[in-house]
Structure 1
Amino acid sequence: MSSSSSFELNKIAGAVLGTLTLTVALGIFSEIIFEQPKPAKQGYELAEATPTNTSTAAAAPQDPPLAEVLAKASAERGAAIFKRCGACHTDDKGGKNGVGPNLYGVIGGPKGHKSDFAYSDAVKALHDKGETWTPDDFYHFIKSPQAFIKGTKMTFVGLPKPQDRADVLTYLNSQSDKPVDLPKS
């Protein structure tokens, strides 16, 4: 190899090494100039994902007392609202079970009241304990079935409006051979 070609290779290698050295030096120099303080806690806080301290969190709005909403309840409005439930439930005497059990006589009756329906283990356990569907229990159950009975197979998200629940409760109570006395204000 001639001395001029090795001299050319040395110039090329020197230029590459010089460029790399200058790049690293600029990176270090820019970190010094634009230094960011380290956060005390890594990551970002998301409002929805942040657990709240129950003692300082704003209290969730409470439902009005059952007797108060029942005073304005209407079985006719309840029948109209219950039509949404008709995809899974029937409410006529001797009616067939659907995806959910027939609800005739459910208010005041035992939890898991239909012997020919395959209830979840959670509901079966309540039935075995002798629990009944009180108006208050049913009112809170249809607000959020999954929250009221952990492990229920009922996937309905619930009726968030207290008046809608009181109307459905009033209607289903009328669908019975023995309607129960509903709380009065």
Structure 2
Amino acid sequence: MKIAMIAGTALAFSQAASAEEADLEKGAKVFKKCQACHTLEEGASNKIGPNLYGMFSRGVAAKEDFRYSDAMTEKAGEIGSWNEENLAEYLENPRKYVPGTNMAFAGLRKESDRTNLIAYLKQETGAAE
């Protein structure tokens, strides 16, 4: 928890409230919702969903050994590659962002959950700077 002084008043705010300050431990907890369908480790097998290692450095729907839905393959041309902004929008409501996707997950409504998860994914999939 961080404390900010504004007009002489101490205001507490969560570290996860800011995109610049994600909480990796909380991101790991959020990923538990994803791990039934996805793996993160380099060389790990796909599950119901693709292995996510390298997801930020390859194109969307470009993992060669995974069959994506037609909807995701079509959307990939529009998106190009995953970044923090488009992934956050997708994770909020996958079916709205990619109508016709095979991903059954309803999404993450809390912005802090999306922020923390994306930071965790960047660290665990080889994209951390």
TM-score range, shorter chain: 0.7 to 0.9
2:91 aligns with 142
- Structure 1 residue 96 displacement after superposition: 0.8
1:157 aligns with 106
1:75 aligns with 24
Q: 1:71 to 1:98 in 2, by over 3 A?
A: same
- TM-score calculated relative to the size of structure 2: 0.79
1:107 aligns with 56
Q: Which runs of 5+ in 2 are unaligned?
A: 1-16
**2:121 maps to 1:172:** yes
- Structure 1 residue 179 displacement after superposition: 3.1
Q: Which has the higher helix share?
A: 1
Q: Give the conservation status (yes or no) of the 8 Å contact 2:41–2:51.
A: yes
**Structure 2 Cα separation of the partners of residues 84 and 171 of structure 1:** 13
Higher-Rg structure is 1
1:93 aligns with 42
Which one-letter code corresponds to 1:169 in the other structure?
A: I
Q: Which has the higher strand share?
A: 2
- Partner secondary structure for residue 67 of structure 2: coil
- Structure 1 residue 109 displacement after superposition: 3.0
Q: 1:130 to 1:149 in 2, by over 3 A?
A: closer
**Same amino acid, percent of matched pairs:** 35
2:70 aligns with 121
Mean CA deviation greater in 102-111 or 141-150? 102-111
Q: Give the conservation status (yes or no) of the 8 Å contact 1:143–1:165.
A: yes
**Structure 1 Cα separation of the partners of residues 52 and 36 of structure 2:** 13
Number of residue-to-residue matches in the alignment: 113
Cα deviation 1:82-121 (Å, max 9, x = unaligned)? 0111111111111111011111121343111311111011
Q: Give the conservation status (yes or no) of the 8 Å contact 1:89–1:102.
A: yes
Mean CA deviation greater in 128-137 or 118-127? 128-137
Structure 1 residue ranges, 4+ long, deviating more than 4 angstroms after superposition: none
RMSD of the TM alignment (CA)? 1.8
Q: Which runs of 5+ in 1 are unaligned?
A: 1-67, 181-185
Q: Give the conservation status (yes or no) of the 8 Å contact 2:75–2:98.
A: no
**Structure 2 Cα separation of the partners of residues 128 and 136 of structure 1:** 16
